[in-house]
Amino acid sequence: MLDLQETYRVEQDKWNDIARQQLARLQPSRYRDFYHYAQDQITMTGIAEFLGDLRGLKVLEVGCGLGKLTTLLAKSGAKVTAFDLSEMSTYVARERAKLDGVVEQTTFCTAAGEQLPFADETFDVIFGKGVLHHLKAGPSRPELFRVLKRGGKAAFSEPLGMNPLLRIARDYLPYRQKNPRGADKPLTYADIRDWSQGFAYVSVREVQLLSMLERALGRNNRFTLLRKIDDVLLRQVPPLRRFCRYAVLLFEKK
């Protein structure tokens, strides 16, 4: 196990490199807003419906990366504060906000999820895509809980790590648009229980069993038949859910 400072170093080096490579390739988003994007992504199943109308809400995006979803949240009318451990990522995210015309609705900072630089109960909504598995739940969950308002909602889309074949693929097999592995650790059900502590409402929905082949062949591939088979299998055979590629986590604080 890496200690926290070493984890930071590994993750910063990884995402700084990715951000530098992507800076010259930035383009305006092809999605009109967050809802439009979420409806198009199986790994975002149910998130837009759970969060509802974002207009006028203060939203914290955890681990904003290159800012793709930051701008879409802002286009949906939210006032977005986004942070990332990678300084270069937050720089690129700011540039993307300029490109998408949402500079006035967005604020960026470089920070770690284990120690958030925000006051208690600041945000109406917390959102993150593929970020919790980069953090330590012990120190990070209380911080997320602290800065979320009473009655606030949190939604995350996270990779699962309980399928042994998928673990081998992530560690060793090349496939299109694969990010390099850093210090991240896909979630188990025990991890999800740690992240959900204290929340009054918790929902976990696993997605992509057979249809995870879409990811292996590139993000633009969509196998409708496999998705339909997944719907049946995951509904009729619940033990198969642990072998899915991703899970959508929905929390609410009372």
Please state, rounded to an integer, the average pLDDT across all residues of the chain. 94
Mean pLDDT over residues 61-78, rounded?
98
Q: Which residues contact 38 (CB under 8 A, 6 or more apart)?
A: 44, 47, 48
What integer pLDDT is reported at residue 183 of this predicted model? 73
Mean pLDDT over residues 197-217, rounded?
93
| 42-51, 78-87, 142-151, 215-224: least confident range | 215-224
What integer pLDDT is reported at residue 220 of this predicted model? 65
Mean pLDDT over residues 26-52, rounded?
96
Residue type, 177: Q
Percent of the chain with pLDDT over 90: 85
Q: What is the CATH number of the domain that holds 129?
A: 3.40.50.150
What integer pLDDT is reported at residue 216 of this predicted model? 75
CB 210 within 8 A of CB 229: yes
Helix or strand holding residue 5 (H, E): helix 4-23
Distance CA 129, CA 157 (A): 5
**pLDDT tens digit string along 105-116?**
999 999 999 999
What integer pLDDT is reported at residue 171 of this predicted model? 81
**pLDDT tens digit string along 163-185?**
999 999 888 777 666 666 667 89
Backbone angles phi, psi at 84, to 5 degrees: -150, 155
Q: How far is CA 175 from CA 171, 179, 208, 246, in A?
A: 11, 9, 17, 17
Mean pLDDT over residues 120-126, rounded?
98
For 164-203, b/e burial (b = at least 16 CB within 10 A) is: eebeebbeeeeeeeeeeebbbbbbeeebbebbbeebeeee
Residue type, 238: P
Neighbours of 12 (CB within 10 A): 19
Report the sign of the C-alpha dihedral through residues 239, 244, 248, 253, in that order.
positive
**In terms of residue numbers, what domain contains 221?**
4-252
Tokens of 124: 């109406």
- pLDDT score of 141 more than 90: yes
Q: Which residues contact 99 (CB under 8 A, 6 or more apart)?
A: 26, 27, 28, 71
What total number of domains does the chain contain? 1
Helix%, strand%, coil% for the chain, nearest 5: 45, 20, 35
CB 118 within 8 A of CB 143: no
- pLDDT score of 1 more than 60: no
What integer pLDDT is reported at residue 79 of this predicted model? 98
